[in-house]
Chain A
């Protein structure tokens, strides 16, 4: 019997926006972005007037394979206890700043040479 080749569809996928590095305020000229595939382009649009070095870096990221992009994106953490187990239940609705994770990511991005 021939083995089936199953393909899967991502229902939760990372948006390669590094958008945490963009300013929190929303500009009215943003292009709509509801899908991850267009998210990176949106970031470029968001940062059209940003630091040229940052813009160059984003262009560099656009040409990278997915795995390389992931290597270049700082990771966030789920809400966990001291031993790393997820908190029981779902209490993620508190509007908390991502905190240092964002700052660290931005610092790393800006350190990159153009």
Chain B
């Protein structure tokens, strides 16, 4: 286990990453007064966790990229997955900047050797399909809806950063549906059954989100339970279960 922090070398490498957002200028100085906001402490935890979630998503798309290469997937699909690794690294940086602007990260204990759950199938196509279903069809699809709510409820630079992230996450979700449509002819009925179980497992893992006591919402990117919970449930139905079912992957919850 290690304490999660991020570092950069700077120079040409940092400029290469910065090109991803060169058209955007974020007013980071707005965070200074916000760091004294009553919910800054809770927000620092949320944004540190957010940086780590984005970091883990980068690892997931790196594995998806390798899996797509291994099955000879269309090169533009593979290139998109590879590109998403960089998107997620940038999101980690943006989340980190908010956490730092609010006073710094909280000490988050993470296991960098366990960033992505390994697929349970060893068959190359089913293995990458499992990763895609978990990451894009479930994780990214749910993220889009929740972040849209968070953006609407946030002020200034916090809302702008969430907006920047959600713009990418919508594409990341779409990759999942594109992959399934491409692979449709190659997936058997039992493969679809396997993918349904993988989706169920991913969805079930969100249960702890609904057991903890809710704090007050804030304009620092945090949603109250009465906004988060319905948004999550609606997204689960419309953005995850429905599209999966239409592709023969029927999830029983």
Measuring CB to CB, which residues of chain A are less than 8 angstroms from any residue of chain B?
6-17, 19-20, 22, 24-26, 30, 32-36, 39, 42, 70, 73-79, 81-99
Contacts and interface: CB of A to CB of B under 8 A. Distances in A.
Given A12-B96, A96-B212, A25 B42 contact: no
A69 to B, nearest CB: 10
Interface of B: 3-10, 29, 31-33, 35-42, 44-54, 56-57, 60, 91-93, 96-97, 99-101, 103-111, 114-117, 134-135, 138-143, 146-147, 149-150, 165, 169, 202, 205-206, 208-209, 212-218, 221-225, 228, 232
Contact of B56 (A12, A86, A94): A86
Contact of B103 (A39, A73, A90): A39
Contacts of B222: 93-95
Nearest to A78: B52
A26 B38 CA distance: 5
Main SS class of interface, A? loop
B31 A75 contact: no
Contact of B109 (A7, A75, A90): A75
B210 to A, nearest CB: 9
A85 to B, nearest CB: 4
Nearest to A74: B107
A27 to B, nearest CB: 9
Pick the most buried of B8, B52, B104, B139: most chain A CB atoms within 10 A of its CB: B104
B103 A33 contact: yes
Contacts of B32: 32, 34
Given A13-B104, A93-B147, A85 B232 contact: no
Q: List the 4 closest pairs (A to B, CB-CB), nearest first.
A: A15-B104, A88-B139, A89-B139, A36-B104
